[in-house]
Amino acid sequence: MTPLRQRMIQDMQLRNLAPATQRNYIAHAAAFARFFRQSPELLDLDAVREYLLYLLNDRKMSPEGVNQQVSALKFLYLTTLEMPWQDVDFPRVKRPHRLPVVLSQEEVVQFFDHVPSLRYRAALMACYGAGLRVSEAVAIKVSDIDSQRMLIRIEQGKGRKDRYAMLSPRLLEVLRVYWRATRPQGYLFPSWRTGRHLNASALQSACRDAWLRSGLRKRITVHTLRHSFATHLLENGTDVRIIQVLLGHSRIDTTARYTAVTPQLIGSTISPLDRLDRKPPASKSGKK
């Protein structure tokens, strides 16, 4: 391990960055160094610009992928190497605004009908029934299920934050059936490796397989189930601030985007035109 890599790892540990973020930053910094075949210490902002344009124009990388690289290089140069540069020197690619894919309740039922594995069905139902991220669902422990208060404890979710998610009676029933059949200890969805939980990629693959078997035209990912959870709550009249807490969003504007994908609410909203006082139409002749 090079001294620069070791220093970057230590800087990330001191700032309590998530392990996955640390791995990604190191991988991005290494790819940047391989591209120029030089240590980042010997490269400047022109090299950063050249590399980002290469990712966009030659590699055809998505804006999200390029922005991850920007974040890694920004941390490397501003924090670890302490270069006298500024945030503006690391421009982020503007992402196109796209509405998330949302399933109807009928489509949700059809999807779950094509998940054959009891373990995967229970985990995917937790994603839809409690609005969990895939990383949160696979890491649930048996002790996190609080059937007395009807809550699921989410330990160290996105942003290294603990929170509680809702535990619906239907989801509790599903989890109990699964637990009685498998009797897991520790993690609710354990891996075949002792002491580890189910891999997120395995659950994503199971989701993809079920989607293909279902014949539904909408592309379904694990995150689609989370989007659908939030949208269905909103359509049922749940306050957006409650949905914000359930999803673990730190900003209300992140949650508010679901208002753009609820045609049911749009269709039922009363126009101000309809609230105007109705007056009888005037007679054409003006005479009785």
CA max distance for the chain: 97
Q: Is 85 left (phi over 0), alpha (psi -120 to 50) or beta?
A: beta
Q: Which of 28, 119, 121, 133 is catalytic?
A: 133
Same domain, 240 and 126: yes
Q: Is 288 a catalytic residue?
A: no
Q: If you ran DSSP here, which 8-state letter would residue 159 be given?
A: T
Instruction: Tell me, yes or no, whether 275 lies in a domain.
Output: no
Q: Is 197 a catalytic residue?
A: no
The percent of residues above 70 in pLDDT, for the chain, comes to: 85
Q: Which pLDDT belongs to residue 276?
A: 66
Same domain, 39 and 67: yes
pTM: 0.67
Same domain, 217 and 252: yes
Q: How many domains does the chain have?
A: 2
pLDDT digits (tens, 9 = 90+) for 78-113: 999 999 999 999 999 987 767 778 898 899 999 999
- CATH number for the domain spanning 238: value is 1.10.443.10
Same domain, 253 and 187: yes
Q: Is 241 a catalytic residue?
A: no
Q: Which of 141, 153, 158, 218 is catalytic?
A: 158
165: which strand partners? 152
Same domain, 250 and 210: yes
Q: Which of 7, 153, 223, 257 is catalytic?
A: 223
Same domain, 138 and 207: yes
Residue 11 belongs to domain spanning: 3-89
Q: Which pLDDT belongs to residue 160?
A: 65
198 vs 140: CA distance, rounded Å: 10
Count of beta carbons in the 10 Å neighbourhood of residue 4: 16
Q: Which of 59, 89, 119 is the last residue of a domain?
A: 89
Edge-first strand order for the sheet with 145-146 is 145-146, 151-157, 161-166
Same domain, 202 and 120: yes
pLDDT digits (tens, 9 = 90+) for 119-175: 999 999 999 999 999 999 999 999 999 999 999 998 865 656 788 888 989 999 999
| Contact assessment for residue 167 and residue 130, using Cβ atoms and an 8 Å cutoff | yes
Q: Is 232 a catalytic residue?
A: no
| Contact assessment for residue 71 and residue 32, using Cβ atoms and an 8 Å cutoff | no
Query: Which secondary-structure segment (H or E) carries 164?
Result: strand 161-166
- CATH number for the domain spanning 38: value is 1.10.150.130
Q: Is 249 a catalytic residue?
A: yes
Instruction: Tell me, yes or no, whether 278 lies in a domain.
Output: no
